[in-house]
Structure 1
């Protein structure tokens, strides 16, 4: 069951206590003990009223009967609404939660507990310091504060620290009889994000092929073709530097052409007999920067008539 401030048993007990209070008032009017269930049956209630009672007493008993019936109707509506909320939240695959204005969880569904890796009913009364590192916790607290203070809905895309999952998070204010609460939901968008990135890579690849096709007819030498290819590829999204090398007979790499995004270029004849590291032609201090950028290594012929193979490498 979904965590709530008041359990279903508590919701059932409170109306019974109220009904007992009304039964005591009815007993005072009738002068005899009136059972609680009599307040839900008008004939049974008035049968307990002794003859000779005044019209005012009969009116008071009628008022108690209407009050008891109204309470029963409200109780039924409350339990119905709670059943809707509980069933919807518990069967939702998305994490759903509610916090009070102090940042403590007062409600959370099964998906929230699964996300945090904790047992059911264990998040109520706890705040984000129990589940998040300090930097992420402070960011979330700032968002929560903005929602409650500005009475606005905030929508953000959140990514797990290792970058494996992506969540579309909604946070919104909830007012309960003047008391402020914050509601939240998180939708797993990992599949959609991966599809979008794959589509972008696909489009970028075909743009690169189109541009490469355009430079082939214009190239008069292999060296010029390699340099033009590096220039085009170096400006592809996610790449910083491209070099094309040939593999010599002893297995070393001899750079033919190289180009970087910032405009640095190098071009050599494949037959100069000198082997160079790919980065030496650009800067002696250049090193690949740590990032998530893709690195590819594609073997290709450097010359149509040359038996040796070449290497296209991208950083």
Structure 2
């Protein structure tokens, strides 16, 4: 080994234990300048702060220096008397707060995210609304607003995908992985931040709808339940966005809007499926977005509810099951991809 450097630091002390001392030792050793071989750093901390036993936190990162590529794996064991769940929750909030601060520091993006659904409501509701028909009758603006809520939620996938892809491309994700943080907490923090953003978008959109004539008619509790279904779908789609964001580069992530727009149009968002051609009607009725939108219309007491298919008659059930399926599939895939992310 040429130019290798190795250092060690040890700290020992006693903390307020009757008749016993608590000893903490930190040892750091590293090797640099190796050719064709990797350098391994190990940090081990052992101590008993106020405990009769020992607590161990260990992390090891293996780095391969061949060809300039780096592969790492970190195993963190925390036995300091605090559960792993609590650490995951704390780390989730830290990451979520970081994402929210970034969001607030980009007012142009905030304005664009909030302005697009408002402009769409005004265009479809006031410009094209007089020429649109609702199957079974009813006011088109009241039919439209739940569809706009659904489209806004679906478009959030593109935002999640882009932000996760940019963090991975800029090395932010690598810094998270090299830190003693909960791996689930890092990706869960992204979902918390996106849910906060989507809640604000739904609130602004609902206020805009109330101004132009939309309303809910079956009570406040049913209305809140309808919004909860939209956020449940958003939570599920966050994990789809995280997984895809870890797979693709930011350039490819920008193309996601090409697929999201038709996905939100081949649904019951703007037109009743009963007015569509046969094959497109089937696609629309089984679209997961359609289930949430139809269930919300029913809870809001808005027109456009009904249909002959099994999916249309059980929209409330599917509005719960579709997102649950997405979470069951993409949550573990996202965490696994994050753990095995190639550097």
- After TM superposition, the score normalised by the length of structure 2 is 0.28
The structure whose Rg is larger is 1
- After TM superposition, the score normalised by the length of structure 1 is 0.29
Higher relative contact order (CA 8 A, sep 6+): 2
Greater percentage in strand:
1
Greater percentage in helix:
2
